[in-house]
Amino acid sequence: MGVGSTRRLSAVRWEVARRIVYAWELTIPAAAAAIAGLSYDLLSLAGLR
């Protein structure tokens, strides 16, 4: 995106950029949820909840 936008905005493949943003919007919350669930399970096993 950066290189394409320095040439001209029409050189940017906006559909690819949109898919990248959607992927980030899905994977970051999913990773946070997975870490939270794993932490909860580990604390439950240790008897700390």
Q: State pLDDT tens for residues 1-49.
A: 666 666 677 777 889 889 999 999 999 999 999 999 999 999 999 998 6
Contacts of 15 by beta carbon, 8 Å cutoff, 6+ apart: none
**Half-sphere exposure at residue 43, Cβ-oriented, CA atoms within 13 angstroms:** 8
Rg (CA), the chain: 19
Number of domains in the chain: 1
- What CA–CA distance (Å, rounded) separates 31 from 33? 5
Domain of 28 in residue numbering reads as: 19-49
Q: Does the CA dihedral 37-41-46-47 come out positive or negative?
A: positive
Q: Is residue 3 part of a domain?
A: no
Q: Kindly state whether residue 12 falls inside one of the protein's structural domains.
A: no
